[in-house]
A and B are shown apart, each in its own frame.
Chain A
Amino acid sequence: MSHSSAVSGPLPTIPPILALAIRPLPLFPLQLVLSGFLQNILRRNPGLLDRLGEHRRARFGIKPVDLPFAFVVEAAPPRLLVVRELPQNLDARVSASLANLLALVEGRVDGDALMFSRQLGIEGDVEAVLALRNAIDDAGLDLAGELASLFGPLGGPARRSFEFARDRLTGSPGEPR
């Protein structure tokens, strides 16, 4: 069951003081978890690669504008890096708040609407970004479920922790904002 209830209002950003506090943290542990997360998602949702089509080998830079790090993501073969600054050799860059990026991945916000309200920035290969957006939107990803499946017997607590953090950030399903 995906977390799909649409939100239409602006979502909150990470407080700058919190972003500052996590700046010194090492990135490798996060990269380890997120790499497994990405591989899990691609294994459980093969349709994602089909919809990405010729763009499946594109190198995407994802920048949460309210966090002191960014992600470099490739779908085929699956690869995810957590970096302080995005490198130059990317096919496309996508930037938005963490809440909007999470909601976009779960299909809770509309990418075009975020563009219209200037909450989403795109640079580089727009076609690749469009293919990625459409592939993700069709997949109906349940990030909490994907995370839970990664943690085996600890899946339940992992799911609840993620849902708590996400709902604090983006609101509960169906909750008006």
Chain B
Amino acid sequence: MELICPAGTPAALRSAIDAGADAVYCGFNDETNARNFPGLNFSRDELRKGIAFAHGRGAKILVAINTFPRASATALWQRAVDDAVEAGADALIVADIGLMDYVARRHPNQRLHVSVQAAAANPDAIAFYVETFGARRVVLPRVLSVAEIAEIMRETRCETEVFVFGGLCVMAEGRCSLSSYATGKSPNMQGVCSPASHVAYEETGRGTTSRLGGFTINCFAPQEAAGYPTLCKGRFSTALGDGYIFEDPVSLDATTLLAGLRSAGVAALKIEGRQRGRAYIESVVRHFRRALDTLEDGSEADIVSLTPFTEGQASTLGAYRKTWR
């Protein structure tokens, strides 16, 4: 299985490859990708240099152009596609069917991956992307169990890529409007969930209060582990009491499921976190490189805990092992 790793900066790209990534995914520094945060992402020149660096070390670069073009600005997304192809990207990760159509028509030889943002969660949806646009790989949404992934693999010849570590979206990916409601900025069209421009932290006698777009999301006691300031991981007061009504602040960690995912026929494992620093990239990529290598050669795994890097200092197997159905 390939190890697909995130990079929000050229330095992170180099760290990922040095730590053992088979491929790195990254995006341009604009709203064409779903991690459009300040100080993050790649200029055209940085992408060209990053691709040269990766290819020199036998690694691939996948360019995420995975937000949904706005009606009045499709040229921005099409230009991103053209520039990524011209730079020598090994694959484009795309969510919007209009943009996939553009890739298929203008760059028929370009390898196309279906982004997790497209939420292709069944064989029929995957078949549509394969037959219509020539998609070679689909990144599966984080709502499927390992058994369901195996079912899908029995009905498709398309490669699949699944997340094994990092942040989780509790909503249908590419369709969530919680952050848009609170801030007026869309994760799916402008690439920024819980934009930092709308986040506020306040230190009070009770601890740290986090707000998004004026909505109070959480209040953490001084030593209590925290999560991202997203509405889906907010702690609210309801008639049933106080608590996390959508999802706890917790990160996915599927280290223990790698053998099952390989048996299911998964082609690639993906680490979330283009917004994270080099220390995260280096540690998490090295962890999964070691885990994959020990899986391949059958040796004893000596795996360190990734808890310090997790949201809420806790991890979950997420939907891979559904216990709520």
Residues of A that sit less than 8 Å from B by CB: 4-9, 51-53, 55, 103-104, 107-113, 115-118, 121-123, 126-135, 137-140
- Contacting residue for B275 out of A104, A112, A118, CB 8 A: A112
Interface residues on chain B, size class: 35 or more
B125 at interface, CB cutoff 8 A: no
Report how far A8 CA is from B227 CA in the complex, Å.
Answer: 17
B278 touches A55 (CB 8 A): no
B201 A4 Cβ-Cβ under 8 A: no
Q: Is the CB of A112 within 8 A of B10?
A: no
Contacts of B200 in A (CB 8 A): 126
Residue B12 interfacial (CB < 8 Å): yes
- The CB with the most chain B CB atoms within 10 A, among A51, A113, A140, is that of A113
- B278 contacts A9, C-beta separation under 8 Å: no
Q: Tell me whether B56 is interfacial, beta carbon within 8 Å.
A: no
A-B contact pairs, 5 of them (CB 8 A): A108-B279, A112-B311, A113-B309, A121-B203, A132-B39
B40 at the interface (CB under 8 A from A): yes
Bound state CA distance, A107 and B12, in angstroms? 10
Known: A110-B279, A112-B276, A137-B277. A127 touches B38 (CB 8 A): yes
Pick the contact of B225 from A118, A127, A135 — CB < 8 Å? A118
What residue of chain A has the Cβ atom nearest to residue B167's Cβ? A112
Please tell me if B259 contacts chain A, counting CB pairs below 8 Å.
no
A138–B39 CA distance with the chains assembled, in angstroms: 9
Which B residues have a C-beta under 8 Å from some C-beta of A? Answer: 8-12, 15, 37-40, 195-197, 199-203, 208, 220, 222-228, 249, 275-280, 282-283, 304, 308-313
Give the shortest distance, in Å, between A43 (CB) and chain B (any CB). Answer: 19
A8 to B276, CA, bound (A): 14
Q: Which residues of A contact B8 (CB under 8 A)?
A: 134
Residue of B nearest to A111 (CB): B277
The answer to whether A121 and B201 have CB atoms under 8 Å apart is yes
In the complex, the answer to whether B226 meets A130 with C-beta atoms within 8 Å is: no
Nearest chain B residue, comparing its CB with the CB of A52? B39
Chain B residues closer than 8 Å to A131, beta-carbon distance: 38-39
Q: How far is the CB of B36 from chain A (nearest CB, A)?
A: 12
Expressed in whole angstroms, the minimum distance between the Cβ of A92 and any Cβ of chain B is 10
Closest B residue to A134 using CB positions: B39
| B225 pairs with A116, CB closer than 8 A | yes
Option from A107, A116, A117 in Cβ contact (under 8 Å) with B279: A107
Query: Which residues of A are found within 8 Å of B15, using beta-carbon distances?
Result: 4
Q: Is the CB of B196 within 8 A of A130?
A: yes
Cβ of B201 and Cβ of A137 under 8 Å apart?
A: no
Determine which of A9, A112, A128, A129 lies in contact with B277 in the assembled complex, contact meaning CB atoms within 8 Å.
A112
Question: A110: which B residues are within 8 A, CB to CB?
Answer: 276-280, 283, 309
B residues within 8 A CB of A134?
8-9, 37-40
Q: Is the CB of B37 within 8 A of A138?
A: no
> Does the CB pair B197–A116 fall under 8 Å?
no
Minimum CB–CB distance for B215 against chain A, Å:
15
Q: A6 and B283: CB pair below 8 A?
A: yes
Given A130-B39, A131-B38, 14 other A-B contacts at CB below 8 A?
Answer: A8-B304, A107-B11, A110-B276, A112-B275, A116-B310, A116-B312, A117-B308, A118-B225, A126-B197, A128-B38, A130-B38, A130-B40, A134-B37, A135-B39
Bound CA–CA A122/B278 (angstroms)? 20
Q: What is the bound-complex CA distance between A141 and B9, given in angstroms?
A: 14
